[in-house]
Each structure stands twice: as C-alpha cells, then as structure tokens.
Amino acid sequence: MVSVATLGSHCALQVLKGAKDEGFKTILVCEKKREKLYRRFKFIDELIIVEKFSDILNQEIQDKLKQQDAILIPHGTLIAQMSSEEIESINTPVFGNKWILRWESDREMKEKLMREAALPMPKPVTDPKDIEKLVIVKRQGAAGGKGYFMAANEEDYNTKRNQLISEGVISKDETLYIQEYAAGVLAYLQFFYSPLTNELEFFGVDQRHESDIEGLGRIPSEQQLKSKKVPSFNVIGNSPLVLRESLLDEVYTMAENFVKASAKLVPPGMNGPFCIEGVYDENAQFSAFEFSARIVAGTNIFMNGSPYTTLIFDEPMSMGRRIAREIKEADTNNQLKNITT
Ligand code: ATP
C-alpha cells in the first residue's frame, strides 16, 4: 500500500489530514525546529526529522520513503527552498508533474506558458527605463511576495532597489522581474485536474493578505507620505472569496486553456492541483499575474470543503483529501504512473 509524504510547512497539515481520511499512512519530512508543532497532530503517522528540507535528496531519506512506497506531495516550500534541478532529481514519485514546477519558478518560462494558455496578463517591462505606469517588481521563484516593491518610474525603481539591497532584503546581482501593476480585486482561483477522468474541478477562491502593503492602507495619507519604508507583499494568511456567478464560465475556460497549454508544452501536463492568480478590474476583466502548478496554501481555508466543492462532492472535500482520493483511485486501477512523475 502506498503512503503519502510531504514537507512540514505550507499546507502539510491539510495534505496529511486528507491522506489519513482516505486511509493512507502519512509521513512528514520535518525540520527539527518544527517537530514540536507537528507532533501535536495525531493523523501524522511518522516524522522523518531533517536539518533542512533539501536533506530529502539524501540517499538515506529517499530509501526510507521508498521502503514505504511514498508519494511526495509538492507544495510552495519545496519550490521556495529547492532548485528546479534538485526537485527534478528526487527519486520518490512526486504527485502531479514535477517538470512543470520549473515553469512556475522561472519567470520567462512562466510567461510563455501563460501566453500559450491565452491568459490575459499585465504587461511585463523589460527595462527599468521603460517604466511608464505603476509597476510591481518581483524576485524569481516563489518568494511569497517578500522583497517585492512598486515603482512609478526608473528613478523610483532605482531608489527602492538600492534601499532594499542596502537592507539586505534583495541581493545586488539578483535579476528582478518588472510587471505593470494591475489594480482591482485579488482572486486566487484554485483547481484540480484529473488525468484519470479528464475532468477539471473548480475548488475555490481565496485572497492573500500581505504585509505590510495592507497595513499601509490603514494609516492616514499624511503618515504614508512621511514613511521611508518600502512596503513589501509578504504573505501572512488567506481569506475566502466567492465570485459573482456570472464570472464562473470564464473561470473554467481559463483553467481549461491552461490545462491544454500545459499538455502541449510540459508533458504530461497540468495534473492535480493548480492555481491561477490575478486581479479583477473595474470591468470585471481578469488579469492573471501568476500561476502555481501545485497545491497553494490558500486551499488551507477549505479543509472542510468550499462553497464550490459542495457543488461537486456530497462530502467535505479539501484539496489535500482530493489528492489522496486521486492516489487511491489510481492505485486501485494500476494507474499510479499516470498521476506521478
Ligand atoms: P507565490 O508565493 O504565490 O509563488 P510569488 O512570490 O510568485 O507568489 P506573486 O504571486 O506574483 O508572487 O506576487 C505576490 C503578490 O504581489 C500578489 O499576491 C499580489 O498581491 C501582488 N501582485 C503581483 N503581481 C501583481 C500585479 N501585476 N498587479 C498587482 N498586484 C500584483
């Protein structure tokens, strides 16, 4: 019988609770400093304690996972803390498509895939000289918004970049990605695509709460103007959102296009959970600034199901549980190879 493993961070609790509910043995690869936290949860059957997450590449840990027929569920921490090469070299079967995670981490590849999926995107700006409208400046990979900043023109860009370098937030030789700022209502659209049934499921919507950009909105403009601090987009938590029903058709279409584009550019395609992240403007037009090709932490809101999963399943269904259900189905029908890489 296969078991389900993940790294101790991000959405590990949801993933392993879901796996337990579906009858799997659960394994957490856990950093020493978090052991106390995770031991509180009885649905975690085994903790493999490591110094750092990349120790998962050590033969000894891979052997332990192999002995238990573990399937590793990737999440944002794996991407944030390991390089694409390291992720691709993991011998343990990874749920979904581990090759697509490189497309999530590399801004140029990301843009290419989003373009292929015909997702409407805020315009990228290749040179700080060309900044004409308000832009957001981002770092590579899943930095969780840390060190991101807004700039109105080249001078503003240079001042803020230099300030963040001197504060040690970003490094001097870091390549930054500049994109036009899209103003509106944030919406992170969560999906699951099953290659077993060829069906796309819309799982829910969340919004990220980011510090200290949100804090800035709570102080009067007089103090805002006096502040010399460059506000960041460091994610602190998430809250749920339901969309106007008239927007749902387009939501499905965007995700279907994304699944098709992924199948074309990154075989075996976008299997399992993913998220399209963006902003609805004043005309309810969506602009996607990002995708995540794996489970997102915003699904943690819906551990007991979301308004949208209620429409699909007659039982509480979290994304973690949905993943485990897919593994169970595939295992029963001898199709584990079709849902892992
Ligand atoms: P993740 O942790 O999801 O991988 P990330 O580090 O790749 O995130 P983004 O999701 O691209 O970063 O951006 C972080 C935050 O910055 C977003 O949640 C959003 O608030 C803001 N943001 C990013 N791009 C834009 C944009 N073009 N217009 C407006 N806001 C944006």
What is the model's pLDDT at position 163? 92
In a domain, 259, yes or no: yes
Answer whether residue 280 is part of any domain: yes
Based on the domain organization, do 67 and 132 belong to the same domain? no
List residues near ligand 1 (CB under 6 A): 76, 122, 136, 138, 142-145, 148, 179, 181-182, 186, 208, 210, 233, 277, 279, 289-290, 292
17 CA distance to ligand 1 middle (Å): 28
Same-domain pairing of 57 and 129: no
Q: How far, in Å, from the CA of 290 to the mean position of ligand 1?
A: 7
Looking at the chain, list the stretches that DSSP marks H as alpha helix, in order from N- to C-terminal side: 12-21, 35-39, 59-67, 76-81, 84-88, 100-105, 107-116, 154-166, 213-216, 221-226, 248-265, 309-312, 319-332, 336-339
DSSP annotation string for 244-276: -GGGHHHHHHHHHHHHHHHHHHSTT---EEEEE
Q: Are residues 193 and 147 in contact, defined by beta-carbon separation less than 8 angstroms?
A: no
CATH number at residue 189: 3.30.470.20
CA distances from 277 to 85, 96, 191, 207, 208 (A): 25, 19, 11, 9, 10
| Any domain includes 194 | yes
Q: Is the distance from CB of 316 to CB of 186 less than 8 angstroms?
A: no
Is 59 strand, coil or helix? helix
- What pLDDT shows up at residue 144? 66
Report helix, strand and coil shares of the chain as percent, to nearest 5.
40, 25, 35
**One domain for residues 111 and 11:** no
Same domain, 258 and 109: yes
The predicted pLDDT at position 286 comes to 98
Is 14 in the same domain as 83?
yes
DSSP 313-335: -SS---HHHHHHHHHHHHHHTT-
pTM of the model: 0.94
Could you tell me the two tokens for 218? Answer: 């709570």
- Ligand 1 centroid – CA 251 distance (Å): 19
Question: Which pLDDT does position 90 carry in this prediction?
Answer: 95
Whether 258 is in a domain gets the answer: yes
Clarify whether residues 198 and 288 are in a common domain: yes
Range of the domain at 12: 3-94
Domain identity same for 71 and 169: no
Residues 148 and 295 in one domain: no
- The ligand 1 atom nearest the CA atom of 182: 28
Per-residue pLDDT of the chain (341 residues; tens, 9 = 90+): 899 999 999 999 999 999 999 999 999 999 999 999 999 999 999 999 999 999 999 999 999 999 999 999 999 999 999 999 999 999 999 999 999 999 998 888 999 999 999 999 999 999 999 999 999 999 876 566 778 899 999 999 999 999 999 988 888 888 899 999 999 999 999 999 999 999 999 999 999 999 988 988 899 999 988 888 888 888 899 999 999 999 999 999 999 999 999 999 999 999 999 999 999 999 999 999 999 999 999 999 999 999 999 999 999 999 999 999 999 999 999 999 999 99
List the CATH number of the domain containing 57. Answer: 3.40.50.20
Q: What is the CATH number of the domain that holds 149?
A: 3.30.1490.20
Q: How many domains does the chain have?
A: 3
| Residue 287 belongs to a domain | yes
- What's residue 79's pLDDT? 93
- As a whole number of Å, the CA-based R_g of the chain is 20
